[in-house]
Amino acid sequence: MMNYKEFKNKLEEEIKIAKQVFIIGHNFPDFDSLGSALGLYHLVKSFEKKAYIIIDDDFTTLEPGVKKILDENKSHYKIIKNEDYEKLVNKHSLLVLTDVNKKSMISIENNLEKIKKIMIIDHHSENELTLETDKKFISTDVSSASEIVSRILLDFKIKIPTDLANFLLAGINLDTRRFKQNTNSQTLDIARKLLAKGADIDYVNNLFLEEFESYARISNLIINGTIIQKYSENSLAPINVSFTINRNMPKTIYKMEDYAKAADRMLEFRGIDAAFALGYINENTIHISARSGKKVNVGRIMSQMDGGGNNQSAGGKIYNQDIFEVENLLKKQIIFGLPDDEDVYEEPKVIKVKQIPRLKKH
Ligand SMILES: [Mn+2]
């Protein structure tokens, strides 16, 4: 393991000999992963090298603050998908992981053969899944990856643009829970220097407010609007499918990405095999987001509903129909998405209906 100074010097050396540098954070990036990645991009560009940030997630499913930063800044940074990386990577490439050290948490986990050099900047503890490299600076004593990257930029005396100072401060802010934890004098010193570079505390706070509002809105939709139904086939274990609709105020209009996130979140629960979230995206259009694990082919179900997608992730739009009729239609289609659509379908059983008081909003 290198100390900070050795790592910083090694990083400079490796960037300078690399043909191009790929920067990657963890899947579903948060402010720290994104801020530190943008900071590293700036570092690589300052050494006049080609830089790419790999984010393979569908942007519509990202946290709103993260998505906002990406949407507003995508012209300034080369942000690429896995498939672009596969085309660009060669034996002279350097890969830098930031805010992550485990293979299973990066999108290119299965495409690392061509990479000869890997460096890691992180503040999470290591275990047997940590990617193997001796060129790493991983310290759980540091608040965030953004703090480390800020320090590197400051030590190299690289000019930090105001926008970047904001993104780095957002990263530190997130992982210290606004300086309530993991904060020492160096964290505050770096935050102070970012503020001196023009970081705007109001901008950073607003990013967090968007996260919170979206989180509350989707949680409310899920808690008040989800039923779970059990579908069974003769010999196979029953399949649990969740349906999320705002059942109290079914006409409520949500953003398309809210349904995607609601379905994603439901699928995280153990035992849920498929998740559908549906509702209005404007007065007469219903959007359905469907997610599943291995047992249900949601692409097939959605294609029956004039939508599309693959086994695990699909969606579709329906015009001028009643939301609960659409839900019933969907339930009927589910048998087509089961592993074997022989005539072994039983009436679905509702196994759980939860209603708790709604939040004021929505
Ligand atoms: Mn972090």
Q: From the CA of 114, how far away is ligand 1's center (Å)?
A: 27
Answer yes or no: are the C-beta atoms of 84 and 60 closer than 8 Å.
no
CB 55 within 8 Å of CB 100 = no
Q: 291 and 181 share a domain?
A: no
Question: What is the per-residue pLDDT across 151-180, written as a single tens digit (0 to 9) for each?
Answer: 999 999 999 999 999 999 999 999 998 898
| First and final C-alpha spacing in the chain | 51
* 65: in domain: yes
Q: Are residues 262 and 180 in the same domain?
A: no
Q: How far is the CA of 240 from the centre of ligand 1 (A)?
A: 34
Q: Has residue 63 been placed in a domain?
A: yes
CATH assignment of the domain containing 150:
3.90.1640.10
101 is a domain residue: yes
130 alpha carbon – ligand 1 mean position (Å)? 16
pLDDT at 10: 98
Does one domain contain both 25 and 162?
A: yes
User: Does one domain contain both 18 and 154?
Assistant: yes
Give the distance (Å) from ligand 1 centre to CA of residue 103: 16
Q: How far is the CA of 13 from the centre of ligand 1 (A)?
A: 25
Hey, which residues does 278 pair with through a beta bridge? 288
Distance 296 CA to ligand 1 centre (A): 34
* % the chain with pLDDT above 70: 91
- Ligand 1 centroid to 78 CA: how many Å? 22
CATH no. for residue 273? 3.10.310.30
Same domain? 193 vs 238: no
Q: What is the pLDDT of residue 349?
A: 52
For residue 9, the CA-to-ligand 1 centroid distance in Å is: 22
Residues 233 and 154 in one domain: no
> Are 169 and 240 in the same domain?
no
Retrieve residue 36's tokens.
């530190």
Distance 244 CA to ligand 1 centre (A): 31
Residues 177, 231 within the same domain? no
Structure tokens at 105: 């948490």
What is the distance in A from the centroid of ligand 1 to the CA of 157? 23
Q: From the CA atom positions of the chain, what is the Rg in Å?
A: 23
Same domain? For 336 and 252 the reply is yes
pLDDT tens, position by position, 60-77: 888 889 999 999 999 999
Q: What is the pLDDT of residue 232?
A: 76
Q: 105 C-alpha vs ligand 1 centroid, how far in Å?
A: 13
Output the CA 82–ligand 1 centroid distance in Å: 22
Closest C-alpha to 64, from 194, 256, 250: 256
C-alpha 83 – ligand 1 centre gap (Å): 26
C-alpha 27 to ligand 1 mean position (Å): 12
- The Å distance, Cα 175 to ligand 1 centre, comes to 6
What digits encode the pLDDT tens for the residues 6-22? 999 999 999 999 999 99
What span, in angstroms and rounded, lies between the C-alpha atoms of 320 and 283? Answer: 9
Measure 16 CA to ligand 1 centroid, in angstroms.
26
Distance 214 CA to ligand 1 centre (A): 21
**Residue 76 CA, ligand 1 centroid: distance in Å:** 23
Residue 186 contacts residue 143 (beta carbons within 8 Å): no
Total of domains in the chain: 2
Strand partners, 317: 287
**How far is ligand 1, taken at its centre, from the CA of residue 91, in Å?**
29
Determine contact, residues 61/257, Cβ cutoff 8 Å: yes
* 194/257 same-domain check: no
pLDDT attached to residue 233: 65
Scan for tokens 């349904």, then name that residue.
259
Q: If you measure from the C-alpha of residue 180 to the centroid of ligand 1, how many angstroms do you get, rounded to a whole number?
A: 15
Ligand 1: centre distance to CA 47 (Å): 25
Which residues of the chain fall below pLDDT 70?
A: 233-236, 336-362
Say if residue 32 is in the same domain as residue 174.
yes
Residues 183 and 266 in one domain: no
Show the tokens assigned to 121.
């900047």
From the list 233, 231, 232, 254, the residue with the least C-alpha distance to 244 is: 254
How buried is 72 (Cβ within 10 angstroms: 0-12 exposed, 13-18 middle, 19+ buried)?
exposed
- Does residue 219 lie within any of the structural domains? no
Q: What's the pTM value of the predicted model, to 2 decimals? A: 0.70
Residue 217 lies in a domain: no
Range of the domain at 271: 225-353
Q: Does residue 34 form part of some domain?
A: yes
